[in-house]
Amino acid sequence: MKSATSTFAAEHNVATVCPLDCPDSCSLEVTVQDGRVTAIDGSHVNPITDGYICAKVRRFPERLYGADRLLYPAVRTGGKGFASFKRVTWEEALGTIAERMLAARAQWGGESILPYSYGGSNGLLTQDTSDATLFRRLGASRLARTVCAAPTGAANLGLYGKMASVAYQDVPDAKAIVLWGANPSASGIHLVPYIREAQRRGAVLVVIDPRTTPLARHADIHLAVRPGTDLPVALAIHRYLFEEGHADTAFLDAHTRGAERLRERAHPWTFERAAAEAGIDADRLRAASEAYASASPALIRCGWGQERNRNGGSASMAILALPAVAGKFGVRGGGYMMSNSATWGLTRPWIGADEPATRVINMNRLGQALADETNPPVKVLFVYNNNAAVTSPHQQKILKGLERENLFTVVFEQVMTDTARYADVVLPATTFLEGYDIARGYGAISLQLGKPVVEAQGEARSNADVFGELMERLGLRSEGDPSGELEEMLDVLSKLPESIGSDLRDRGSAAPPFAGRPVQFQDVWPLTPDRKANLFPEHLDAETPAGLYSYQPDPATAEYPLALISPASERTVSSTLAELPRPDVHLLMNPGDAAARGLVEGAAVRIFNALGEIRSTVTLGAWIRPGTISLPKGLWRRHTANGYTTNALVSDALTDLGGGACFNDARVQVERA
């Protein structure tokens, strides 16, 4: 069944929304000619994205009609990893999958089935709808979706109960902005003009990032910290606030708990000690702290760069606690900006089954889960909205697991990804231009309905269609379950809070709460039991290996001294769109580090540690700090000379809070290849 059934006339424009894993949720105007997408541009429905979009999604037609697009169901005919498949019918493909699932459940129990997904199609319809109903009813293993935002999520929840945060439109009111671990020029581009407007009005901009990002070039103070040292830097600012008379004691007394415990943990971190650990200048750290403490409104934009290491949870907590200690709330443009996905207060009442008490597998330990032959082994892996072969830590372990002949792997995808090459059965999925979705911005506070723009290519089908049919074949369908994508969409709309559902149905977008511009501690309050910020949640202190706000030192050794990071780029949304042609990928290295190794621009290099190696070429730039090197996030295996990406050098160790991935803890050496 096609997702869109209308007949598409000659050239016309269709309004929809981008649901990809990006904070902005752009409203789109798509030009269609003779049933084919010819251009994608921004529309003005979302006032924040206001008519322009990123270069990534402008290229989406190349994915829609490209050579890598999956058009038909197929089964494997050659070795795993070699992408040799033969076309089959949907009937055969779904019949085989149902048979293998039933057999695995009968012999090994439901937990031998592992659904594996993340934000590849980030809308509310394409994840945690019929897929969740199916896997819950099956009694499958549950997946902890922790590859991104788990430590920041745990921190925000522990401190403020995920209170709504400052809106983009209020950024220009800020007189000081601290951009911490975020590079909106690459992801979430619509924040950039608001920050620049604040600067035009006189705001001080502090950027904390190991790289001289585009906004760092325009910053008043740039602190190029060593990866993983954000925690001592944030604690040094706390120490300054508490011990030099800049803490807002009236606010702390009235609206927080745990300030004294935080103060104790911050006390050892003088500017000098934190600066030495972070490899920055202590005077500049003091200047940044003074600029933040003395300004009002003052805003912290907390990103995700600081969470991707062993200290990521505590670092995110310490950063997010700063506005409470400094008393920056209660004024428009002041406070913090984090993920705003919880602002709408949506639960998912449309999932047709309660969550079973089955085992939970952390997605950052997929390799281990696939290798571990015990209790019970994973026998069926169902991957959708995800490209685990390149996006999850410890790549070799994952690839080895995917090669297991006694593992039955289904990959339900839009294009032939590196993960799909290992599938036993490949199912073609629709893109957001071929079906319905509901896109919720997690930076911009927006909720919009996405509609099919063109008919599905080939035999691609929606998640709702496929998971619904699998439920039927597995005997798991219940009366009242929606059938197919259209019914699923109507079901979800009917179960959203009434005004939101009707707004989406009637207008295509919903009116945001607090007019989309909540003021923290004025319009919105911590969603904690006593409406106070909890600066030292005891349960998180117990959960954290070294204790909350306790620094775990840099894992560098003399053998592997360089920190390898993999930040988001302007080419891909995670690994989505990485199949499109791009200029050659290079390892970015500081000229000083290159000279010390006898490397020149363009040299072929091997980047290695005890886990493995990557072959690439090097490009030199002073815009990365010495001791840190960088390859872009979201690379596919085709982008390096030996088919391994940064995750080949990343262990599956977890962050101190939230079970996140320690991508930036890879310590490596580089030499001429």
Build a one-symbol-per-residue string for 16-45: x at contacts with ligand SF4 by CB under 6 A, - elsewhere: --x-x-x-xxx-------------------
The one segment of 51-59, 457-465, 507-515, 563-571 that binds ligand SF4 by CB under 6 A: 51-59
Please say whether the beta carbons of 181 and 208 come within 8 A. yes
Q: How far is the CB of 493 from ligand SF4 (least distance, A)?
A: 22
Residues 412-471 that bind ligand SF4 (CB under 6 A): none
Task: Tell how strand 36-42 and strand 27-33 pair up.
Answer: antiparallel
The one segment of 52-60, 316-324, 358-366, 560-568 that binds ligand SF4 by CB under 6 A: 52-60
At which residue do the structure tokens 């394409």 appear? Answer: 126
Q: Which of 30, 37, 45, 57 binds ligand SF4 (CB under 6 A)?
A: 57
d(CA 76, CA 665): 36
Both tokens assigned to 517: 């511009």
> By C-beta, is 186 or 331 nearer to ligand SF4?
186
Q: How far is the CB of 121 from ligand SF4 (least distance, A)?
A: 12
Instruction: Give how far the C-alpha of residue 489 lies from the chain's centroid of Cα atoms, to the nearest Å.
Output: 24
Q: Which of 30, 37, 48, 53 binds ligand SF4 (CB under 6 A)?
A: 53
Q: How far is the CB of 23 from ligand SF4 (least distance, A)?
A: 7
> By C-beta, is 426 or 454 nearer to ligand SF4?
454
Q: How far is the CB of 495 from ligand SF4 (least distance, A)?
A: 25
Q: Give burial (CB, 10 Å; 0-12/13-18/19+) of 133.
A: buried
d(CA 297, CA 278): 27
Assess 56 for contact with ligand SF4 (CB under 6 A). Answer: yes
Name residues whose C-beta falls within 8 Å of residue 567's C-beta, 6 or more positions apart in sequence: 183, 186, 211, 305, 630, 632, 633
> By C-beta, is 29 or 469 nearer to ligand SF4?
29
Query: Taking Cα atoms as reference points, which of 190, 117, 638 lies closest to residue 442?
Result: 190
Strand partners, 299: 177, 335
Q: How far is the CB of 576 from ligand SF4 (least distance, A)?
A: 9
> By C-beta, is 115 or 634 nearer to ligand SF4?
634
Residues 582-621 that bind ligand SF4 (CB under 6 A): none
The one segment of 14-22, 323-331, 578-586, 658-666 that binds ligand SF4 by CB under 6 A: 14-22
Assess 189 for contact with ligand SF4 (CB under 6 A). Answer: yes
Name residues whose C-beta falls within 8 Å of residue 264's C-beta, 6 or more positions apart in sequence: none
Q: How far is the CB of 451 from ligand SF4 (least distance, A)?
A: 16
Q: How far is the CB of 60 from ligand SF4 (least distance, A)?
A: 8
DSSP string covering 238-272? HHHHHHTT-S-HHHHHHHEE-HHHHHHHHTT--HH
Build a one-symbol-per-residue string for 557-586: x at contacts with ligand SF4 by CB under 6 A, - elsewhere: ----------------x-------------
d(CA 124, CA 126): 6
Q: How far is the CB of 53 from ligand SF4 (least distance, A)?
A: 4
**Residues near ligand SF4 (CB under 6 A), total:** 13
Assess 173 for contact with ligand SF4 (CB under 6 A). Answer: no
> By C-beta, is 58 or 273 nearer to ligand SF4?
58
CA distances to 226, 274, 462, 528 from 284, in Å: 15, 12, 52, 36
Sheet containing 380-384, strands listed edge to edge, beginning at the edge strand earlier in sequence:
85-87, 74-76, 425-428, 408-413, 380-384, 113-117
Q: How far is the CB of 114 from ligand SF4 (least distance, A)?
A: 28
Under the rule (CB under 6 A), what is the footprint of ligand SF4? 18, 20, 22, 24-26, 49, 53-54, 56-57, 189, 573
